[in-house]
């Protein structure tokens, strides 16, 4: 007879790390170059800066660096990782998962199950819930899961989507000692619908988007996932906005979180009248706006955008938040969505300095718009077999992991 596995009583996030590109553009400057009123980008869309990846920074390098930071800062032994999942929609190979490069670069054990998940921006949430189930079912046997969300959002120069680009990775260690955030595994709401709001065919490095329609699809998905979550509990009051200390949404651009929060109220109350608008605006300022400052300077990082807002909240290090309830809404175009609840860990505030990426963001290099355009064109063919090897020194990279070219159809990476 096989050994009976003990189920876990809790699962959630124990450690987090962010890694983003070393370069960015200023959104007001980009607006001027595109003959657009700067307030459209900075207020209408809500972005002040946008991270830009060089040809030497890709999904693998960002995922690996974010994971190294999470493991190192929270003193987690790579040998304890029993599951590695990379959620991405900007994989580097049609077959080989980004996760297996990350597995090697982190030196994880060979009995760590490793795979990539893809469903647009929902990919990392899918990985996170799968890892939570693995732990709750008792299959982890004391080991931890490493979930990494890593992406580069590319729509191309002078497109409507251009101001909603970005790049970066968020790594999360999920375990049965969730000192940062414990998930309420029983109450997740799900939503799926085939829509053509945003997609990227295999032959294209750039995404195609029906921008305004994608916003509608996102909001409809919120309603669907929220209603599904409510249908799974005896008392839907559990999801009431006044029960929350923070509400996190997928953030393709900062203004989208405001629209999502409005829909959150509609989903809870039904129709909204003029009289309720001030209360909704106040609720947005309390539960959502304070945690959008990282998204505002990094841009859309697809799978990681929701978790970047969560990091922003956790980095504030407020002991009074211990045990408080928060909501998380993940949306992936195409489309799939999930609405979940979590509770802040009792010692989360002590870890705030360990996950705060501010120092690195402050050290980024600002690109002039012509430099950003040159860099964007340089990334277009950088990973073809015929292209000259990209040189990290050319892009002022001095330390970290970098992509250094493809030879004999094999991608190569170097740690400087
Ligand atoms: P657009 O047509 O260039 O912009 O597209 P707009 O005319 O809709 O203006 C944007 C906002 O700026 C509006 O605010 C304007 O009023 C305001 P709103 O009415 O929406 O509140 N505005 C101004 N505000 C102040 N001063 C001014 C001014 N001018 C205008 N002077 C769009 C914008 C986001 C559609 C475009 O950039 C796009 O297509 N982006 C890509 C698609 C996208 O991000 N969709 C989001 C939902 S889908 C999703 O989140 C999934 C995704 O992350 C992918 C995945 O899942 O993998 C994208």
Residue pLDDT tens, the chain, 416 long: 456 667 788 999 999 999 999 999 999 999 999 999 999 999 999 999 999 999 999 999 999 999 999 999 999 999 999 999 999 999 999 999 999 999 999 999 999 999 999 999 999 999 999 999 999 999 999 999 999 999 999 999 999 999 999 999 999 999 999 999 999 978 899 999 999 999 999 999 999 999 999 999 999 999 999 999 999 988 888 889 999 999 999 999 999 999 999 999 999 998 899 999 999 999 999 999 999 999 999 999 999 999 999 999 999 999 999 999 999 999 999 999 999 999 999 999 999 999 999 999 999 999 999 999 999 999 988 888 889 999 999 999 989 999 999 999 999 999 99
Burial of residue 22 (CB within 10 Å: 0-12, 13-18, 19+) is: buried
pTM: 0.97
pLDDT at res. 1: 46
Element holding 61 (H helix, E strand): helix 59-73
pLDDT at res. 187: 85
Question: What is the distance in A from the centroid of ligand 1 to the CA of 214?
Answer: 10
Nearest CA to ligand 1 atom 51: 333
Q: How many CB atoms lie within 10 A of CB 231?
A: 9
Taking alpha carbons only, the member of 183, 170, 169, 132 closest to residue 15 is 170
37 lines ligand 1 (CB under 6 A): yes
Question: What is the distance in A from the centroid of ligand 1 to the CA of 252?
Answer: 9
pLDDT at res. 6: 73
pLDDT at res. 134: 96
Question: What is the distance in A from the centroid of ligand 1 to the CA of 45?
Answer: 6
30 lines ligand 1 (CB under 6 A): no
198 lines ligand 1 (CB under 6 A): yes
Q: Rounded to an integer, what distance in angstroms lies between the CA atom of residue 149 and that of residue 128? A: 10
3-state secondary structure of 152: strand
Catalytic sites, residue numbers: 89, 121, 250
Element holding 368 (H helix, E strand): none
Alpha helices by DSSP H, 270-348: 277-287, 293-298, 305-314
């Amino acid at each position: 007879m096989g050994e009976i596995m003990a189920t876990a009583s809790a699962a959630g996030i124990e450690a987090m790390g962010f890694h983003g590109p070393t370069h960015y553009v200023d959104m007001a400057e980009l607006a001027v170059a595109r003959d657009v009123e700067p307030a459209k980008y900075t207020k209408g869309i809500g972005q002040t800066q946008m991270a830009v990846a060089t040809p030497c920074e890709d999904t693998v390098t960002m995922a690996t660096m974010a994971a190294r930071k999470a493991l190192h800062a929270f003193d987690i032994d790579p040998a304890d990782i029993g599951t590695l999942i990379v959620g991405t929609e900007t994989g580097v190979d049609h077959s080989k998962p980004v996760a297996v490069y990350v597995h090697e670069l982190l030196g994880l054990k060979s009995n760590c199950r490793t795979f990539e998940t893809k469903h647009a921006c929902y990919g990392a949430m899918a990985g996170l819930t799968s890892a939570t189930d693995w732990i709750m079912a008792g299959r982890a046997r004391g080991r931890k899961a490493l979930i990494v969300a890593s992406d580069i959002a590319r729509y191309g120069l002078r497109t409507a989507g251009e101001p909603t680009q970005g790049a970066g990775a968020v790594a999360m260690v999920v375990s049965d000692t969730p000192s940062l955030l414990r998930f309420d595994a029983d109450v997740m709401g799900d939503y799926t619908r085939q829509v053509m709001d945003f997609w990227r065919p295999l032959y294209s490095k750039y995404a195609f988007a029906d921008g305004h329609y994608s916003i509608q699809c996102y909001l409809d998905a919120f309603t669907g996932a929220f209603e599904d979550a409510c249908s799974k509990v005896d008392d839907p009051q559990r999801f009431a906005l006044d029960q929350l200390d923070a509400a996190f949404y997928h953030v393709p651009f900062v203004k989208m979180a405001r629209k999502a929060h409005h829909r959150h109220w509609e989903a809870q109350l039904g129709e909204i009248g003029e009289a309720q608008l001030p209360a909704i605006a106040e609720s947005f300022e309390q539960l959502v706006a304070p945690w959008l400052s990282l998204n505002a300077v990094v841009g859309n990082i697809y799978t990681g955008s929701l978790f970047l807002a969560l990091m922003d909240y956790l980095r504030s290090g407020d002991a009074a938040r211990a045990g408080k309830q928060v909501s998380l809404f993940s949306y992936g175009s195409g489309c799939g969505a999930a609405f979940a609840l979590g509770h802040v860990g009792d010692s989360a505030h002590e870890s705030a300095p360990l996950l705060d990426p501010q120092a690195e963001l402050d050290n980024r290099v600002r690109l002039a718009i012509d430099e950003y355009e040159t860099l964007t064109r340089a990334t277009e063919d950088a990973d073809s077999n015929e292209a000259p090897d990209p040189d990290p020194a050319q892009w002022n990279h001095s330390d970290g992991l970098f992509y250094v070219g493809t030879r004999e159809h094999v991608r190569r990476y170097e740690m400087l």
